Amino acid sequence: MEKSTCEVILQPIGKHIRIPVGTTLLDAARQAGVELVAICGGEGVCGTCRVCPVSGPVSPPSLTEQAELTPADLSAGMRLACETEVLGDVKVDIPPESFTTPQRLQVEGQEAPPELAPAVAALDVDAPPPSLDDLRSDLTRLREALPDPDIHTGLPVLATISETLRRNNWRVRLALRGDELVAILPPGEGLYGLAVDVGTTKLAAYLVNLENGDTVAKSGAMNPQIAYGEDVISRINHANQHANGAKTLQGRLVETLNGLVDELCAQAGVTPGQVVEAVIVGNTAMHHLFAGLPVKQLGESPYVAAVSDAMEIPSAELGLCLAPGAVIYLPPNVAGYVGADHVSMLLGADLQETAKTTIALDIGTNTEISLFHGRKHWSCSCASGPAFEGAHISDGMRAAPGAVERVRIDGEAVQVHTIGEQPAIGICGSGILDAVAGLVKAGLVDKRGALKGEHPRLVPDDKNSAFILVPAAQSGTGRDVHVTRQDVNEIQLAKGAIRAGLEILLVEAGIEAREIQQFIVAGAFGTYLDLDSAIAIGMFPELPRERFQQVGNAAGSGAKRLLLSNRLRQVATEIAQAVQYVELAKHPDFMKVYVKALGL
């Protein structure tokens, strides 16, 4: 019977399930506790349970599917989950509309008051119409109606000039970026900017009024590249190993971003043509894949970027549908995996001029850490792995409905809280952190991570003992949701890497952990994590709690601030140039510090 089961990975939530070969994808999802829209109850008649198998063998499209799906859907690989049988290990991408419950996509950043000096400004113009006595070109007549006629215009804007001038009776509003014409708009239309934090897993997008700095709409989405690899290394491998692999990753991302732009514009009642500037932040790999820069060398030692400078790219060149001359600003990357999103995070947390001794970090598959001390600034990148994203954890999943996000072990009582208060189907990052901290505090785990001691929920095993967080009877899957010794070890590796990076920065600065005056934790996981748990397992140093700040999506807030202020873009470049990047792999103390940091 061993051979007749196989594993299904449900993306983007990262839930794994082992099921018999021949199970339909709809049943596999149900057994994993993931509810798909299936109005007809799996009878193959409603066409709503649409999913996209991205790798592994499945049954060929049935006649029902050929009837229910369009040829375009079929050729894009879309399937009906109720009709598709799993024939081996399979990875499936579930589009947002096929989930019954919305995903938790976004964490707001704390916002510093905006500094309002955007790159693009409006100018209202009346141009004289042409006649047989005045045959000057449209651009010439527009130009000569300006206070300063010396403007530059690219082809995408020029393609709109003649119709826009005529349709608005030669009275228009120009969006000008210095002397560069970004858009020719009907009179009176407001100017907006787009800020996006492109995470490896999630995208957070904001539409900002450039005149008053207000965020007028926000939305989130999963990064569609997740279907091609969960972490940056597997995406880089995909780009390198497939013809047009990089183009595909770029295209999928741009397509999703265009969808977000449409959604944000609809929310705010504006047109994409009014979006005259964008700031997009991401780690070095996301940055390079978005811009179409080469990534091969990013995947090979010594892992160098193609470009680290800040970039300004015409949106038309990347296919992002904004105002025809809109520019996308990408902040500078620092070095290695410390990318533009880290620079943006520091600005979002308003740290650019901090005089306090400060740690700032954003925990992810790679965790970037900055230390500010005595007007100096060090940073490093730790390979913390995807455990806090729920990957490599036996019952792990991303922060989605049904994920255990809080755990309290109080003697024999075990309390859990799930996202959306749904029956538990797995554990997300903050839940596994709490669980490990609870086990440590309860004395149920030794320094090396082995589970031991007496507890009704503890299931001993020579190799992989387990602790049951939610018994089968109460779970959403009909199986126990548990933490295993292997899971504890994964968390040890992750927190050890983070703590070691932090300690090495302190060594570089020549200070002790207790001298840290503020400790900034950014990002979604950083916002939901329980500080006591993080300290209990030794991921963070023991400091007075008031020195910690959980600032939410500071990278996104930084992107918004960069959208509104040209001066901050200069600051971003100064930060990237001033920071001393510490390469942990070659630091003489690293191994010693790391081994010490692994202990619980």
* Window of 17-25, 133-141, 273-281, 565-573 that interacts with a copy of itself by CB under 8 A: 133-141
CB of 162 to a copy of itself, least distance (A): 4
- Interface with a copy of itself includes 549 (CB under 8 A)? no
Please report which helix (H) or strand (E) contains residue 121, including its range: strand 120-126
Half-sphere exposure of 294 (CA within 13 A, CB side): 6
- Interface with a copy of itself includes 140 (CB under 8 A)? yes
CB of 338 to a copy of itself, least distance (A): 10
- Interface with a copy of itself includes 243 (CB under 8 A)? no
Nearest CA among 64, 89, 168 for reference residue 126:
168
Binds a copy of itself by CB under 8 A, chosen from 96, 292, 471, 599: 292
State both tokens at 461. Answer: 């095993």
CB of 161 to a copy of itself, least distance (A): 6
- Interface with a copy of itself includes 452 (CB under 8 A)? no
Binds a copy of itself by CB under 8 A, chosen from 302, 411, 510, 588: 302
- Interface with a copy of itself includes 138 (CB under 8 A)? yes
Q: Provide the 8-state DSSP code for 161.
A: H
One-letter-per-residue 3-state SS of 227-241? HHCCCHHHHHHHHHH
CA 164 to chain centre: 38
Distance CA 235, CA 29 (A): 25
Inter-CA distances, 565 with 115, 176, 193, 311, Å: 6, 15, 11, 16
- Interface with a copy of itself includes 169 (CB under 8 A)? no
Nearer to a copy of itself, 305 or 568 (CB): 305
- Interface with a copy of itself includes 139 (CB under 8 A)? yes
Nearer to a copy of itself, 166 or 545 (CB): 166
Single-letter residue type at 268: A
Distance CA 120, CA 277 (A): 7
- Interface with a copy of itself includes 244 (CB under 8 A)? no
Site for a copy of itself in 304-333 (CB under 8 A): 304-309, 313, 317-318, 333
Distance CA 89, CA 225 (A): 20
Nearer to a copy of itself, 69 or 198 (CB): 198
- Interface with a copy of itself includes 163 (CB under 8 A)? yes
State both tokens at 17. Answer: 């399930």
CB of 308 to a copy of itself, least distance (A): 4
Burial 295-331 (b: 16+ CB within 10 A, else e): beebbeeebebeebebbebbbbebebbbbbbbbbbbb
Nearer to a copy of itself, 206 or 590 (CB): 590
Contacts of 79 (CB under 8 A, 6+ apart): 25, 50, 51, 52, 53, 58, 61, 65, 69
Q: Confirm if 597 and 504 have CB atoms less than 8 A apart.
A: no
CB of 137 to a copy of itself, least distance (A): 4
- Interface with a copy of itself includes 166 (CB under 8 A)? yes
Widest pairwise Cα distance in the chain: 98
- Interface with a copy of itself includes 355 (CB under 8 A)? no
- Interface with a copy of itself includes 513 (CB under 8 A)? no
Distance CA 177, CA 114 (A): 19
- Interface with a copy of itself includes 294 (CB under 8 A)? yes
* Window of 153-161, 412-420, 475-483, 485-493 that interacts with a copy of itself by CB under 8 A: 153-161
How many chain residues interact with a copy of itself (CB under 8 A)? Answer: 45
Binds a copy of itself by CB under 8 A, chosen from 55, 145, 303, 573: 303
Binding site for a copy of itself (CB under 8 A): 130-140, 154-155, 158-163, 166, 291-294, 296-297, 301-309, 313, 317-318, 333, 335-336, 581, 583, 585-586
